[in-house]
Chain A
Amino acid sequence: MKKSRTEITNERAKFLLSAYRHNGADAQDPIFREALEQAARDPDLATWFANQRSFDALIAEKLNSVQPPASLKPAILSGLYSAPSKHRSIFSWLPALAAVLVLSGILLTVTHQGSESDRPSLSQYQSAAFAVLSEGTAPKLDLLTSDLSRSQEYLSEKAAPRAPEVPAALRELQTVGCRAIDWNGKMISLTCFLLPSGELLHLFVIDAKTVGKISPQPGIREINGWHVELRREHGMLLMFVSKAPMPELVKYI
């Protein structure tokens, strides 16, 4: 009778101990106390329990060896800072708004050869682009992918402009993803690259005709903590924006 009672108890103990975490996090949970005491008394159960924990540890180790893509964490963080909190105070937007206004004003110093009526377009474009970045540390993206060609396909599907030529060094980097921005009926594309330092490099592209005739001055400018370079290539206006250190940036754009 005693053996039968022990077997039944062992079955119950196995049932309970199947939920016991191999790292011992449940050691103080009273629901396991009797089962653990039984395992201490019964060699068969003790062997089963040791095997079970060993099995659990090995399975967890195997499964945890699967690593997320390197671009995932920056992408998540970029999304977090652009996600509006329903409890966010209007005052929390003021610094971002101020930054947009300051950046817009400074960027207008780019040589502009269009008519007076063209100028607001460039200003508004720059404001729109920087507003996307000023919402947080990085923008929210439509598509998360480490593959530049997938980003380019997506942008094409969305009829968003693409850079005619992405610098060769930049093409070697992983992307975080991209976004097609409908700006008053004009499409802007944004592609984010992950630099080796972990900083993001944002590439905005728009049809240059949309913002008038401009001749961007060559070189990277430092504006309010951002490094910015404007280029006009094959009818497209490219704007590179990043907080990465200048020496790193020049290697890629």
Chain B
Amino acid sequence: MTRDLDLEAIVGRFYAPLYRFALSLTKSEAEAADLTQQTFLILAQRSYQIRDVSKVKCWLFTTLRREFLRGVRAHTSHPHVEFQPDIHDAPALAEDPLRSLDAKAVVNALASIEPTYRTAVELFYLSELSYKEIAETLDIPIGTVMSRLSRGKEQLKALLARTIVENSRKIIPMNRDEEVAN
């Protein structure tokens, strides 16, 4: 599987998911763009180190996360979120209200997952990495990945359910007089 890397093709294929992952980490479009570019710069400089082309995707996400953690941003962009860790049976979400949520609401919910679980869930959705690749990227055992995905997704469902409820409360019923007048 060793061959020269086609950097342009790799950029074309992975820059968007990497940017989304970076955005989920930094919460800043400018920083996410910077982090994504930095990741590809490192790839260009160290491409000779990559022996197996099939590992490029995993390498990119690992490198991006490492670069993020290297900066002080890791401290400021991971606010502690109080959450009940023992939520197991998150409410089943009906697809319609869920579909009505915009991407920002989903991004915000994702960002509110407890940090321990969040990165695994982010990688699952944003990179479509397999559980094995997530384990490799985060350098944790496979069982831990599965546990984090299971718990993290439950939290995500609970957070989205809360968002849907809050949104429904914002819908103000029409005033009866106005209804008549119209």
Contact = CB atoms under 8 A, between A and B. Distances in A.
A140 B34 CA distance: 12
A64 B122 CA distance: 12
Interface in B7-66: 7-8, 11-12, 15-17, 19-20, 23, 29-30, 33-34, 36-37, 40-41, 43-48
Contacts of B110: 63
B118 interface: no
B30 A83 contact: no
A60 interface: yes
Q: Max chain B CB contacts within 10 Å: which of A56, A68, A69?
A: A68
Contacts of A59: 106, 125, 156
A16 B153 CA distance: 12
- The B interface is mostly helix, strand or loop, or mixed, namely helix
Nearest to A14: B150
Interface stretch (A71-79, A95-103, A184-192, A240-248): A71-79
B103 to A, nearest CB: 5
B80 to A, nearest CB: 23
Contacts of A85: 44-45, 47-48
B149 interface: yes
Contact of B12 (A16, A65, A73): A73
Interface stretch (A17-25, A111-119, A205-213): A17-25
Contact of B41 (A51, A68, A83): A83
Interface size range on A against B: 35 or more
B157 to A, nearest CB: 7
A5 interface: no
Given A14-B150, A58-B98, A77-B11, A68 B33 contact: yes
B101 interface: yes
Contacts of A25: 128, 130
A19 B149 contact: yes
Given A14-B150, A18-B149, A79-B40, A58 B99 contact: yes
A43 interface: no
25 contacts: A15-B147, A19-B131, A19-B145, A19-B149, A21-B128, A26-B130, A26-B131, A54-B95, A56-B125, A58-B99, A59-B156, A60-B125, A62-B101, A67-B16, A72-B15, A72-B36, A73-B12, A79-B41, A80-B8, A80-B41, A80-B43, A83-B41, A85-B45, A85-B47, A144-B30
